Amino acid sequence: MKKFPKEEYSVPFFEEEGYVRNLCPKCGEYFWTQNPDQKTCEEATPEGCAFYTFINNPPTRKSYSLGEMREAFLSFFEKLGHTRIKPYPVVARWRDDIYLTHASIIDFQPYVTEGIAPPPANPLVIVQPCIRLVDIANTGPTFGRHLTVFEMGGHHAFNYSDKEVYWKDQTVRFHHEFITKELGVKSEEVIYKEDVWVGGGNAGPDVECIVRGLEVDTLVFMQFKVVNNEFVKLPIRTVDTGYGIDRYSWLSQGAPSCFHAVYGSLLSKIFDMAGISEIDNDLMIKIAEVSGLVSLDKTASRLKARRKIAEIVGMKVNELDELLLPIENVFAVADHTKCLSFILSEGVIPSNIQEGYLARLLFRRAYRLMKMLGMTDRLYDVMDMQIGLWSKDYPHLKEMRNEIMEILSVEEEKFQKTIKRGEGLVKRIARKLKKENIPEIPVETLTELYDSHGLPPEIVKQFAEKEGVEAEIPENFYALIAERHIQAPGKVEETEPQEAPGIAVSDLSETEPLYYQDQYMREFEAKVAKVLDNEYVVLDRTCFFPEGGGQPADTGYLVFDENKVEVVNVQKVGKVIVHQVKGVVPKEDSIIKGLINWERRYELMKNHTATHIINGAARRVLGKHVWQFGTQKGTARSRLDISHYRRLTLEEIHRMERLANQAILRNIPVETSQMGRSEAEKLYGFRLYQGGAVPGKEIRVVKIGEWDVEACAGTHLKGTGEMGFIKIVHSERIQDGVERLVYSVGIPALKTVQENEKKLWKLSDILNAPLEKLDKTAEKVVRELKEANAEKRKLIKEIAARESAVVGARPQTEVISHIDGIRLVTRDFKEVIDVDRMVQTANAMIERDEATVSLFYGTDGKNVRIMVMAGETALEKGVNANEVIREASAIIGGGGGGKLNFAQGGGTIVRKLPDAIKKAEEVLKKQLKH
RNA sequence: GGGCCGGUAGUUCAGUUGGCAUGAACGCCUGACUUGCACUCAGGAGGUCGGGGGUUCAAAUCCCCCCCGGUCCA
């Protein structure tokens, strides 16, 4: 990685305070210290630069709980002139590049850090709950250095070329004051380690602060954008600090683990539930002190680290492993259940895609750990405790409690199903292997079971051993999984280069959107600003709505001189709206008249407003976890995809319909307003971003009374009454956790209802039954059909039995010959080439007399079918049906085959059928004589 | 967004190179034997092989499209 020169880190503060810069011989990083004799960086790294010295020996004046530390941090920086900002959600709905908020700066990217929107305050201070699943394997084993959910404190300053707030030196001074004055840590114990920070396409130098072995925060000076591996200066320099509030609390308590510090009595309760008594305190402290050596990312050093720790504390490796494993699992359970409560409280539905998958991953991991601890029955108790504990600071957890519990039970059921299915699968595989004398499940089977069936190798091993088959889980198992996914990239789908104008319009000024001034405007006059490629027209203003937000572009006409040309497409390119026309184009700088296809647009407006109405109804009927997943508006039909953990019932759909139509009847006014991003978020919360991330500094808010409020750029009705009528016409599940609602509005909705009615009437006509008895009649008809089918099968059998009995009774279609004690029945089925019939007859015939060979054939004039079946006795005499059929079918221009006792074939040369039969008889005779 | 696996009787699943679905187990019905821990025995019913095209004399099986489910990763 690129390193920055010393000057980037050498702030006046270090000089004033007598800091020296040394190079750590173990990890190879530079660090700043007030103690010139200090050799290593003193961070408890996996390389073993140092060990923790704060365990049972905290350096702070007093001990802080997580909440107390959060408050201490916030009020300290508030006193220094920072504005306190409320935390953002942990699901980063305002971004489309990431799913979860994993740092406080995420809240302000990219709009603030790229200078698109002003920050809510400058400077500001925030404590942001964060979720990081990349460290999930380390959560537990590292005693809390890694958590999947944690609180990050940040004091942020955004420096513009014309407005400097504060930069490196001041940041370090603030930090130092907090840690020494506020918390009481001795100045000489505070070490600053140099580092290069890269993240989210941005970069800059940073210093990490180490106290008694623990890295407690990082001070980042973001000032570059990473372009083609090069650092390019950003116009805005951002002070991005990240204080690990959980780690600070751990430091201040000197607890054996960060989990002890954060969860307190909740952790003890989980230990109780798992039936684990906490181990000897002295030993625990000893282990905790050296836990910095652990890091599971580096698989190679993992066992080494265990061995090292065992050596230091004077235990055998497997003894230590046995002792630590359940404890680490309890730690992870505490962490994962908190993380789940946060993620689920914001309406993430566990599923197999996107952020839903992350929720599922978390749940399944937590559940597996609980299973190992034998406490899955306490899942709901633990979750309840987490909700109780954290809703003091984050009250929305409590509001979502019932939905969270419901989602958990659905998820538990699904996981159990998967495991059960897996058990059967492994059993079958194991038995098969045993039969083939393979004593061990091959590695590729293990990886496939995990990748395709979600079965973790430990579980497979357990099930396999029950069947007496071994399974060896390779150390690099998850690396093998990763390998499966890095296959050669398949054919990249060639997407037609968008015909829409990817044209240089950046030099043009913004097109004035008239459709926002008056959403009902149908025609306008405008000046032609630019004409491109004899096809694309840019105007100074327009009321043609460009495609966006699931709403298709308007169509219509441009009128100028004697011409009326069709507008076929409208796209927004940056701030410029481009009209694609068919026919002649107007001259630049001329005045034209625009007419939009109002009927179409009005339908789109109705459908768009309906989306908001249905979304509101879904939230009311299904719960607050419902989020819009995607939409597409049309004139006759539109669709809305929503997140939900269960298939919708007809009853739920009807309730949504009722609510939606009630909202129409009340004719609720639809208000639109343009407002600043921060202000809108403050006023309406992040519910605004139903439609996903919305770019820009100002956002357009569409508010339908108390029913629904969203950030939305589409065109809407003045009042809901204009829709007249909404009908949900269809629903389907498009992904696990995502339901699609298809609906119609107004006359098209009525039409759909009428279409359905028409079908019912027709059905009633066909079945000759009145509407109210349709269901009963249909049931009856289907039942009778099934009975008739069964009867038919029975009859074929009966006919076959009878026909097999009367061998020799029809000389014109049947020849019977006896060869070597075998009876050969050659029968012409004429036009009946139903194989089933031949087979059944032959079966019955042979059942009566095993010394029979039946040679059956028939033709419908187009196809010829031949079939040979031989009884046990005939087989013993050397009959090979397969061979007979092969030779015979070749003659009639087809093919055939089968087994020794049964074969069938056919062809298309009908006139050669007699030859083929002769051939078959010849072959049979030869086989028998042989 | 990218992979991978699957859809056959009420359920869980077999089904080799295309060639009889005499499919297996459990469940169900009838009868016998037993009344206690998955009773046992005999017999029987139960199938649009997810849907639609194609290749073939012949498709559950091969090819294409669609629908539905499961699962891993970003």
SS (H, E, C) A79-109: HCCCEEECCCCCECCCCCCCCECCCHHHHHC
Distance of C1' in B69 from CA in A414, Å: 12
Spatial separation of the C-alpha atoms in residues A232 and A252, rounded to whole Å: 40
Nearest nucleotide to A899, CA against C1' atoms = B19
State the pairing for strand pair A822-828/A202-211: unpaired
Query: CA A811 to CA A765: how far, in whole Å?
Result: 51
Distance CA A486 to C1' B2 in A:
10
d(C-alpha A342, C-alpha A333), whole Å: 14
Q: Which 3 state secondary structure label does DSSP give A458?
A: helix
Q: Identify whether the C-beta of residue A214 lies closer than 8 Å to the C-beta of residue A250.
A: yes
In the β-sheet with A902-907, what is the strand arrangement from edge to edge?
A814-819, A822-828, A852-859, A864-870, A902-907, A895-898
Inter-axis angle of helices A835-848 and A774-805, to 10 degrees? Answer: 50
pTM of the model: 0.83
- pLDDT for residue A602: 95
Tell me which nucleotides of strand B come within 7 A of a protein CB. 1-5, 12-14, 19-21, 45-48, 56-58, 67-74
Identify, with chain letter, the residue nearest to nucleotide B69 (CA–C1'). Answer: A736
**Helix A774-805 and helix A747-767, axial crossing angle in degrees, nearest 10:** 40
Pairing between strand A638-643 and A628-632?
A: antiparallel
CB-CB contact of A205 with A9 (8 Å)? yes
Percent of residues in chain A assigned helix, strand, coil, to nearest 5: 45, 25, 35
SS3 A242: strand
Angle at A905 (CA atoms; ends A901, A911), nearest 5 degrees? 130
Residue A167 DSSP SS3: coil
Strand partners, A572: A577
**What one-character-per-residue DSSP string does A333-382 give?**
HHHHHHHHHHHHHTTPPP-SSHHHHHHHHHHHHHHHHHHHTT-GGGHHHH
Å from the A911 CA to the B29 C1': 51
Strand A628-632 to A591-596 pairing:
unpaired
What is the reported pLDDT for A736? Answer: 82
For residue A823, what are the β-bridge partners? A818, A852
**Among A416, A232, A347, A330, CA closest to A644:** A347
Helix (H) / strand (E) containing A457: helix A457-466
Are A872 and A852 within 8 A, CB to CB?
A: no
Q: Which residues contact A432 (CB under 8 A, 6 or more apart)?
A: none
- Cβ–Cβ under 8 Å, residues A242 and A153: yes
Phi/psi for A861 (5° steps) reads 95, -15
Task: Tell me phi and psi for residue A38, to 5 degrees.
Answer: -70, 120
A630 strand B contact, CB < 7 Å: no
Residues 6 or more apart whose CB falls under 8 angstroms from that of A215 comprise A43, A193, A208, A209, A244, A247
* Closest nucleotide C1' to the C-alpha of A455: B71
DSSP class of A487: P
The reply to whether A837 has its C-beta less than 7 Å from any atom of strand B is no
CA of A898 to C1' of B61 (A): 14
The DSSP call for residue A489 is P
Q: Are A217 and A210 in contact (CB under 8 A)?
A: no
Residue nearest to nucleotide B4 (CA to C1'): A452
Give, in Å, how far the C1' of B26 lies from the CA of A917: 47
Nearest nt to A352, CA vs C1'?
Answer: B71
Is the minimum distance from the CB of A418 to strand B below 7 Å? yes
Return d(Cα A309, Cα A291) in angstroms, integer: 8
- C-beta within 7 A of nucleic chain B, residues 463-492 of A: 478, 481-482, 484-485, 487, 490
> Protein A850 CA to nucleic acid B31 C1', in Å?
31
- Give yes or no for a contact between A128 and A101, defined as CB atoms under 8 angstroms apart: yes
Q: How far is the CA of A791 from the C1' of B8 (A)?
A: 22
Å between CA of A858 and C1' of B59: 21
Query: Does the CB of A839 fall within 7 Å of any strand B atom?
Result: yes
Pick out the nucleotide with least CA–C1' distance to A414: B70
Among chain A residues 698-737, those with CB within 7 Å of any atom of strand B: 732-734, 736
Contact flag, residue A132 CB and nucleic strand B, below 7 A: no
Q: Which of residues 770-789 of A touch strand B (CB under 7 A)?
A: 786, 789
Is the CB of A902 within 7 Å of strand B?
yes
**Positive or negative torsion for Cα A583, A588, A592, A597:** positive
- Contact between residue A383 and residue A408 where contact means Cβ atoms under 8 Å apart: yes
Under-50 pLDDT residues of chain A: 298, 487-501
A491 CA to B67 C1' distance (Å): 24
Contacts of A460 (CB under 8 A, 6+ apart): A422, A426, A441, A446, A449, A450, A471
